[in-house]
Homo-oligomer: A and B are copies of this chain.
Amino acid sequence: MTKFTDLALRVTMRLAVLDPGASLTTRQVADAMAIPYNHTAKAIARLQHLGIVEARRGRGGGLELTEFGRTASIGWLVRELEGEEEVVTCEGEIPCPLRAVCSLRGALRAAQQAFYASLDPITVDQLTSSSTRPVLLSLS
């Protein structure tokens, strides 16, 4: 999994435990999750585009999870964040000579789908409702 997906999931988890009406700035999320500011900003932009995070403007504004974001599937979210990335780089600078007919490539695609399928039934809310919640709330 890419570093970017990892960070975007951490950001999502921090925002998921906010009380209703509460919000955080990008800086606050970055500091809480020990992620560089620039990476946090990029992750938030992507999560906004996916409809997971919204930014309320003006006084008292800030970042919060959308209603959709709370119930979103982790499997769906990871698929979106990872894009069409394959498990291995068949089409690299020096392409693999087997790429057109490779049985391994198909097997790895199926394994990747099994990976996502395992995450499909888990929602953002579920991921942050257990023992992880108090720790998330304590970070600042």
A: residues with CB less than 8 A from B are: 1, 3, 5-6, 9-10, 13, 32-34, 74, 87-89, 94-98, 100-104, 107-108, 110-119, 122, 126-128, 130-132, 135-136, 139
Contact = CB atoms under 8 A, between A and B. Distances in A.
8 contacts: A74-B104, A97-B135, A107-B118, A107-B122, A110-B118, A111-B115, A114-B114, A114-B118
Contacts of A136: 98
B107 A74 contact: yes
A8 to B, nearest CB: 11
A34 B102 contact: no
A132 B101 CA distance: 5
Contact of A98 (B1, B104, B117, B135): B135
A10 B96 contact: yes
Contacts of A5: 88
Contacts of A3: 89
Contacts of A111: 115-116, 118-119
